[in-house]
Structure formats: structure tokens, C-alpha cells
A and B are shown apart, each in its own frame.
Chain A
Amino acid sequence: MLKVDGVSYRYRDAASPALQDVSLSIPAGGIYGLLGPNGAGKTTLISILAGLLDAGHGQIALNGQPLAAARAANPRAIALVPQDYAFYPMLTVAENLRFFAGVLGLNGREIKIQSDAAIAFARLEQVVGKRAEQLSGGLRRRLNLAIGLLGQPQWLLLDEPTVGVDPQSRHFLLDAIAALPAAGTSVIYTSHYMEEVEAICQRIAIVDQGRVLAEGALADILSSPEPQVELELDRPLPPDLAERYAATPLGNFKFRLFFRLTVGMTSELPRLLDELATAGCTVKNLNFGQQNLEQVFMNLTQRSLRD
């Protein structure tokens, strides 16, 4: 369990704090999503957890032990995979892995075992002898991730690990990351891509302007508190139905029409569908009782541009 309790942080000369009274409980053995717009404070929080910054206020405990003491006792307990390609472009894949395993203090045999394991995990077998600067974006991401796994960390902090890769590499990376908890590594995952977080995270926190806006199990956060139904129709909603169900148009995206309607109970749904059929409206999509993460995120963080 990684427990963040009332942590605040302000960069030197910054007008407002990067983190304000952030409290999170991150259970081990899963993938925890950290969501937020640019400048929300995600990277600051990750940096504090990785030991790059010292929390100004508040406490962080790893398995009940203060973070600094836990890191000192086991420097390899928490590993960071930064957003940048943090390795040496002039070294080959194998040389990079051996170097980072070496600076972790592993001995010769462990270096070999762990490098091989990392190569197998990230499927880098075909490119071990290739210089990192010659790799494609997807392979660089895989190498960046593989380096993070050297030293078998208990916790892996991933900062936007899929930026700039093609769909195939993204799926591979997501599958690989999803398999990490079973292998004994808990993951904290930050991303802008909602579908990624929905796909692999069991618990999430939504952060904005240094504050936690929502935290909990993904299913709980996505469940709709009100009996609302979202529809995509092939034509505009007839005015009488719109009035009766207190409909709000959700927008007109690429000639597709979305509406949110309020129904009293689940049992009223069949009647609504009958009425729509009678009015000649074809329902192309229906969502009841569950929001998607993007809606929740946009509702919580508002739509204004951040940078």
C-alpha cells in the first residue's frame, strides 16, 4: 500500500502550488491511473514518489514506512519510467540495459538475468544489437519501459508511456503493463488517453490544479448517480419527447446527434424506446447508468484549455 496523506508542493517562484493537500490510497497489486489535464500536478506527484522532489508538506508511506526510509532501505523498490526517452542513443539496446542494471548495483550474473528478462518482456530480441538512436518510436518506448523493470521494482511509475507510438505498439505496451501486477509489480499510470486508463486501471484519481477531484475504483467513478440515458439518434428528438424527458442535446459531432434524457426508473426504458420508434427515430447507440471516463473527466475538469 502506498499512502499519500495531505501532500502539498510548491515550485520555487511559482504563483500557485503544484499540489494542494493531496491524499491517495494506492493498493499494491494493481494498476492505479492518475488522470489530469496538462499542468494538473501528475508529474509533480510522480516526481515526489520517485524521490526526485521532497514533499513540502504531508506524509507518504510505503507499506507503513515513511517513503524516504523505505527508499533508503530498498533503493530499487520504486522505479520511474519517464516520459522522455531516458537512455543513451549511441548505445545499443543491450548496452543500455546492461548499463542501467549496472548502476542499480546488480552483479554480473544478475545483470545478465535481468537484462534478458527485460528484453523478453518488451520483446526487444530482434533489436538487442541495434543502437537506440536507430529504433522506431514504439521500440524506444519499449526500451524505456524495459529499463524501468530492471531491479524488479515493487512499484513502477509510468509517465505517459504510450505517447507517440502506433496502435500496434500501444496495444502491446498496454497488454505488457496489464500483466505487471501478476508478476509482482504494482503500477501507477499517468496518461491523457482515457481509453487506456479505462482498459487497464482498476482504480483511478482525477487531479486538476494540484487537487484530487475524484478517487476510487474505476467502476464506482463511472457509475452514473442519476437515472439518465444517453442516446445517439439518426434525427432530432421530437419536441414533445424532449420536453417530457428533460432532454439536453449533448452536441452534434460529425453529423451524429447525442442527447441526454432523464428517466424515472429503469422500467421506463422500454416505453421510451417504443415512443422513439413511433416517432420514426432510430436509436444508434444507448448508454444507461454508466458514464464514460472522458465525460466524467471533462465534467470534473471543465472544458477550458490548460496550456
Chain B
Amino acid sequence: MMPRLLALWLKESIALLRDRHGLIALFIMPTMFILVMTMALRDAFSPGITVDVGYVIVDLDHSSNSQALARRLAKGASFKLQATGTPTPEAARDGVQSGQFALALVLPKGFGSRLLTPAGADGQATEPLTLLVDPALNPALQLAFRNQVMAALGALRADELTQRAGKLFGLPTAPGARPERDWPDEITSVAVRSGKNIKPPSSVQQNVPAWLIFAMFFVVIPISSIFIIERQQGTLQRLRTMGVPFRLLLAGKLLPFFIVNQLQAVVMVLIGLVVVPLFGSEALEMPSGLGLLNWWAVSVAVSLAAVAWALLVASIARTAEQATIVGGVSNILMGAIGGVMVPKFVMPAFMQKLAALSPMAWGLDGFHTVMLRDGSFADLLPNLLPLLAFAAGSLILAAWLNHRTIAAHS
């Protein structure tokens, strides 16, 4: 049994090494996807933390209040403060126009002295704050900045009021302390899903496992191209006359492609650890110890599902073109609904339910269970068992289809 299996493994390995398109689909494609998508979606995964939009403050008041507002905005704002010294309103206008920055907030003269004076209360007009905006800036971001200014203003007024009230009522104040306080207004985002609270993945945590799963399923291209050549050229029949049982043939294909899948896992993780940070994104964090074993268990289950699925597609397809289309399209569909291309947590509820149908989603959930929630092996079972059942079902169906083909010819 063993020398025959070794011959089959060696044959598959050589054939794969010479299949340039197959290797590109298995290794180059996911690498590109991981790098491009991690960069492209870097900000989309942590909404409100940082926005790549710059602003300046034109302080015409030069009061302690105007400076306190600037500090509050710089501290709490998700927008980037551009260092431009102390610009004039005209310079700020030119800067917005030339695209140097998208927002400029003008604090008028008298801003500090009239901070607590309601408009028109003393018969004098209060000059409003002016926001110069680049019209090309997303309106939602314009609104977000306005709201942040409003919130900072509110906090500033509260500081001012408590300070003055403190003096009025003789409350103790630390001498020389800044009037700004940390009001308990910090908000933490928590993504709510299926009744459990989890931290949403970062861009690299989403993209590395997602595209790894996607790439693992692409073994369908090399597996089917070899399998269809074997069937069309009569090699399978020759092997049958040599007494090679079909189950041995399947075993001969399972192991080499399982190893290829594990190699893909190592390469993609290394890209997440080493290459992604070179492009300015955060590095992938991998679990250690038992967590790493659990991570590998998910990788094994995804691989078995992917190879079995590929054998099924190769058994259904009559030609290599059919296999490429059926395999490619089914992978893209599984990836699209399974949260590979669009993360599941941004999908509406009914799409998240649909995602549960995709084996890629089971794998991705498994990886996230280990990577984001420190899940134990028992926590993984709801993901591993469907993957293994899917693999077994695909293999059985593939074997049945091949026996039926043989029977139809006899």
C-alpha cells in the first residue's frame, strides 16, 4: 500500500510544481489580496479611531479658552491636526483650496470672553465660529467634525462653569491646575453579534485568515486540472487495470494538497506578521501555546473541506474549463457571502444569517474564535464539526459520482 501511495503523492507534487497557474492561484493571489485589502480597509475596521483628514485652527482670540478648545479637539478628535503655526483666515482658506487640509476652524476674537454669554443676552451679537470645508470632503465627515467641535465646546463651557462655580462656592481647586477636566464621556465601541459581545477584528486580523481560507479553497484549480487530464486521457482506466483502487487515488490526492494548504497557512501568516507592517499597518498577532494548536486545528479542518470540495468539483466537471468556472465561481460566491470579501460584522442581519451557509464563514469564525476571543478547542467545535461534515459529504459524493461514471461506461 505504502509504496503505491508514495508514488501517487510524488506524482501529484511534481504535477503541482509544474502548474504555474495553479501556484499563482494558491500563493500569489492571496498574498496580493492580503496586502491590498489590509491597506485599503485599514480605517474601515476601527471606525472613529482615526480619520485620515487634516484640519487647522485659526485662533484670532488667543485666550486661554480658545487654546483649551484647541487642546480638547486635538485630544479627542479623530481628525489630524496639521501643524501650520498660527495661520491667518486667508492662509487657512488657501490651504483648504489647495487641498493641504480639508477643514479649518476659525475662532473669532472675543470667543473666550463670550463663552458663557448666551447670544443676544447682553444686546451684543456673538460672532460665530466659522468652519472652512473642502466641498469634496464626505458630508458625513464634515458633520462628524462639526459634532466634535460642538462636543468640545460643551466640555469647555462645563469646565468654565465648574471653575467659576467652584470659586463662587469656595470649592477647593489645585493651584495652577488647568481648568480642563476629563468628563466621563469616553465611549467604547462594542460590536454586538449573536448575543455575544466581541471586539471586532482589525484589518489584518480580518484579512489574513479570510484570504487564507479563500486561497485554500483554490486548490480546486490544480486538483481538477490533474484529475480531468487523468480521466480524459484514460489514465484513470489504466490505473484501474493496474489494480489501483479509487480510494487509494483519493488518498493520493488528499495528502499533497493538504500539505500545500498548510504551507499556504504558514506563508500567509508570515505575510501578516512581517510584510504587512512594512506597509504601515499593524502586524498580525498570533495566539501562542495551546491557542496556536487550536488555530492549526481550524486550518486542518478548512483544508480538508477545501480539498474534498475540489475533488467533488473535479468529479462533476467534464473539462478543465468547466472546473475552472464551477470552482472559481463557487469559491467567489462562498467568499462573498461568507465574510471573506466583506467582513461579516458589517453585513445586515439577514446577510449574516446567509453567511452561516458558507463553509468559508465557518472557517473564518473558527479563526476569529481563536484569534480574537482566545477560544478553547470546545469553543471551536461548532465551526470544526460542520467543516469536517462538509469534507466527508463532499468526498462521499465525489466517490459516488466516480463509481456512477464507471458504471455508466459498463
Contact = CB atoms under 8 A, between A and B. Distances in A.
Interface stretch (B10-18, B53-61, B161-169, B300-308): B10-18
A102 B18 CA distance: 20
Contacts of A100: 238, 242
B7 A102 contact: yes
Contacts of B174: none
Contact of B3 (A80, A84, A102): A102
A269 interface: no
A39 B229 CA distance: 25
A82 B237 contact: yes
Interface stretch (A104-112, A165-173, A182-190, A197-205): A104-112
Contacts of B171: none
B242 A75 contact: yes
A246 interface: no
Contacts of B399: none
Nearest to A81: B238
A102 B1 CA distance: 10
B320 to A, nearest CB: 12
A106 to B, nearest CB: 7
A102 B234 contact: no
Q: Which of A88, A89, A104 has the most chain B CB within a 10 Å cutoff?
A: A88
Contacts of A108: 3
B235 interface: yes
Interface residues of A, number: 38
A193 interface: no
Given A86-B234, A95-B14, A52 B7 contact: no
Nearest to B249: A103
A91 B14 CA distance: 7
A202 to B, nearest CB: 25
Nearest to B19: A90
Interface of B: 3-4, 6-8, 10-11, 14-15, 18-19, 229-230, 233-235, 237-244, 407-410
B235 A86 contact: yes
Nearest to B252: A103
Given A88-B11, A91-B11, A75 B243 contact: yes
A98 B7 CA distance: 8
A95 B4 CA distance: 14
A245 interface: no
A50 B242 CA distance: 9
8 contacts: A51-B240, A52-B240, A76-B242, A90-B15, A99-B10, A101-B7, A103-B8, A103-B244
A87 B237 CA distance: 11
B372 to A, nearest CB: 42
- Give the 8 A-B residue pairs with the shortest CB-CB distance, closest first: A102-B7, A84-B234, A75-B243, A86-B238, A86-B234, A50-B241, A80-B241, A82-B234
B7 A99 contact: yes
Contacts of A275: none
Contacts of B239: 103
Contacts of B407: 12
Nearest to A102: B7
B238 A80 contact: yes
B237 A90 contact: no
B3 A105 contact: yes
Given A89-B233, A151-B242, 10 more contacts: A12-B407, A51-B243, A86-B238, A87-B238, A88-B11, A90-B18, A95-B11, A99-B10, A106-B3, A131-B18
A100 B6 CA distance: 11
Contacts of B3: 102, 105-108
Nearest to B406: A52
A180 B288 CA distance: 64
Interface string A101-140: 1111111100000000000000000000001000000000
Contacts of A51: 240-241, 243
A195 interface: no
Contacts of B243: 51, 71, 75
Nearest to A105: B4
A91 B15 contact: yes
Nearest to A159: B234
Contacts of B410: 11-12, 52-54
A207 interface: no
